[in-house]
C-alpha cells in the first residue's frame, strides 16, 4: 500500500487566517504532532493565495502554491521559532511546551514545504528535536499497532488504517491543503 503524501495546514494561534503548511507521507502521525521544525537560516514567505494565506519556504513556494500567489512577508526560520500554532487534531492540546515552531538543522528545501511536521514518537530527528526543547513524546499507539481506544476518530484502528479517516477529517475541516482547491 502506497503512503498517501499530504500537505496539512497548521493555523497560527495569533493569526488564524495564516497557516504553516507541512508535508507528510504518514497522515496517521498527525494526531501525534507536537512541533513544526524549520531551518534556522532558510527563508520563508507568508504568501496570499486564492485559497488562503500560507507560510512555506521561499524556495518551494511555487512548487507548493502554484504560480499564483503574492508574497506578503519574508522571514528566516530563526524569526519563526516559538510561533504558536493550532495542531490538526486536539488530543494533545495543552501538552507542555508543544505546538510551537522549533528550529532544526536537518530541515532542507529539497522537498515538501520546508517545514517538517514533527511527531517525536515516530522519527529519530523528531524525537531529538523534542528532547532538545524539553517536550516529552506522546504515543497514542498500543504495542499491538492499534490506536488507544480513547483517541477520537481513530481509536482502536490499526495505525495504517487511520490514514483514510484522518485525511477525510482534515479535508472536511479545510486543513488538507491542495493546490487549486
Q: Is 102 in the site for ligand VAL (CB under 6 A)?
A: no
User: Which one of 6-14, 53-61, 73-81, 122-130 is the stretch in contact with ligand VAL (CB under 6 A)?
Assistant: 122-130
The distance in angstroms from the start CA to the end CA of the chain is: 26
- List the one residue from 4, 40, 123, 165 that touches ligand VAL (CB under 6 A): 123
- List the one residue from 104, 116, 130, 154 that touches ligand VAL (CB under 6 A): 116
Residues 6+ apart with CB under 8 A from 3: 25, 26, 163
- Please say which residue, 70 or 90, places its beta carbon nearer to ligand VAL: 90
- List the one residue from 46, 53, 99, 117 that touches ligand VAL (CB under 6 A): 117
- Please say which residue, 30 or 47, places its beta carbon nearer to ligand VAL: 30
Rounded-to-integer distance, Cα 16 and Cα 132, Å: 27
Contact 38, 105 (CB under 8 A): no
Least CB distance to ligand VAL at residue 26 (A):
5
Contact 57, 42 (CB under 8 A): yes
Residue of closest CB approach to ligand VAL: 123
Q: Is 109 in the site for ligand VAL (CB under 6 A)?
A: no
Contact 53, 46 (CB under 8 A): yes
Give the Cβ contact number of residue 111 at 10 Å: 10
Q: Is 80 in the site for ligand VAL (CB under 6 A)?
A: no
Contact 1, 94 (CB under 8 A): no
Q: Is 24 in the site for ligand VAL (CB under 6 A)?
A: yes
Report the DSSP beta bridge partners of residue 116: 37
Report the DSSP beta bridge partners of residue 57: 44
Least CB distance to ligand VAL at residue 50 (A):
26
- Please say which residue, 44 or 122, places its beta carbon nearer to ligand VAL: 122
Contact 76, 43 (CB under 8 A): yes
Which residues are at the interface with ligand VAL (CB under 6 A)? 24-26, 29, 116-119, 122-123, 126
Amino acid at each position: 500500500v502506497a503512503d498517501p503524501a499530504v500537505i496539512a495546514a497548521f493555523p497560527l494561534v495569533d493569526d488564524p487566517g495564516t497557516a504553516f503548511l507541512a508535508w507528510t507521507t504518514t497522515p496517521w502521525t498527525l494526531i501525534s504532532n507536537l512541533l513544526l521544525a524549520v531551518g534556522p537560516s532558510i527563508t520563508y514567505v507568508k504568501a496570499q493565495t486564492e485559497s488562503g494565506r500560507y507560510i512555506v519556504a521561499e524556495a518551494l513556494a511555487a512548487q507548493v502554491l502554484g504560480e499564483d500567489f503574492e508574497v506578503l512577508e519574508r522571514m528566516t526560520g530563526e524569526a519563526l521559532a516559538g510561533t504558536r500554532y493550532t495542531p490538526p487534531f486536539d488530543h494533545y492540546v495543552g501538552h507542555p511546551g508543544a505546538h510551537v515552531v522549533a528550529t532544526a538543522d536537518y530541515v532542507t528545501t529539497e522537498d515538501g514545504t520546508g517545514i517538517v511536521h514533527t511527531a517525536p514518537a515516530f522519527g529519530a530527528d523528531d524525537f531529538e528535536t523534542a528532547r532538545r526543547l524539553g517536550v516529552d513524546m506522546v504515543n497514542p499507539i498500543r504495542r499491538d499497532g492499534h490506536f488507544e481506544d480513547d483517541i477520537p476518530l481513530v481509536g482502536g484502528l490499526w495505525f495504517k488504517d487511520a490514514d483514510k479517516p484522518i485525511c477525510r477529517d482534515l479535508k472536511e475541516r479545510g486543513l488538507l491543503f491542495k493546490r487549486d482547491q
